[in-house]
Homo-oligomer: A and B are copies of this chain.
Amino acid sequence: MDILAEKKKAIFESTLELIKENGFHGTPMSMVAKKACVACGTIYHYFDSKDTLIAELYAYVKKQMADAMFEGDDEQKEFKDRFYHLILSHCRFYIKHPNTLYFIEQYINSPYNNREPVKDNEQFQHRMWDFLKQGIDTGVLKPMNIHLLGILIHSHVVTTAKLYFSQRVKINEEDFPNIVQVIWDGVKNHSD
């Protein structure tokens, strides 16, 4: 799985880009084939069906995201610093990979999402949950369900990244810390 066949990777990347542009249903397999410079039938050597391709692509980008997110995380640092670092890394990942951002958003909100849960690569999430749990246990974060917390934070990140690309509200990377402060103030425990 680590060393993907060149072809397979080409198919993934083509699909990612085309879906961002045209959506799932504006992206026929023939178009993927052409962009990936393979034959139609070749895609079916690697993937059972279009659904499978998309589900596997989801896992593929999820893994990439996880790898990027915790890079540079330093467990020695203060919690707040680590929090800011993680959030900003996450934002920057989406900004570097808009295809991934839009693909994931479409995927999550489509009926694909509930078809076959594809054994979500939970490693990434577990690491996040551990981090959040530590924040709660040490009294830095509000005492809440960590899954709920994780999702609220992620939603904040996605919204920020989407705004970065939107035409209506123009923000840039310098605005990020202020935006992160919103979620930080939101989740931190103010009682102390």
Contact = CB atoms under 8 A, between A and B. Distances in A.
Copies in the complex: 4
Contacts of A25: 24-25
Q: Is the interface of A mostly helix, strand, loop or mixed?
A: helix
A171 interface: yes
Contacts of A110: 23, 106
A18 to B, nearest CB: 11
A23 B54 CA distance: 15
Nearest to A120: B168
Nearest to A27: B111
Contacts of A179: 148, 152
Contacts of A111: 21-23, 26
B186 A182 contact: yes
Contact of A102 (B109, B144, B181, B188): B109
Nearest to A147: B169
A192 interface: no
A182 B187 CA distance: 6
A187 B184 CA distance: 10
9 contacts: A22-B111, A23-B111, A144-B182, A155-B158, A156-B156, A182-B186, A182-B187, A185-B186, A186-B187
Given A147-B168, A152-B179, 8 more contacts: A21-B111, A25-B25, A106-B110, A152-B160, A152-B182, A184-B186, A185-B186, A190-B190
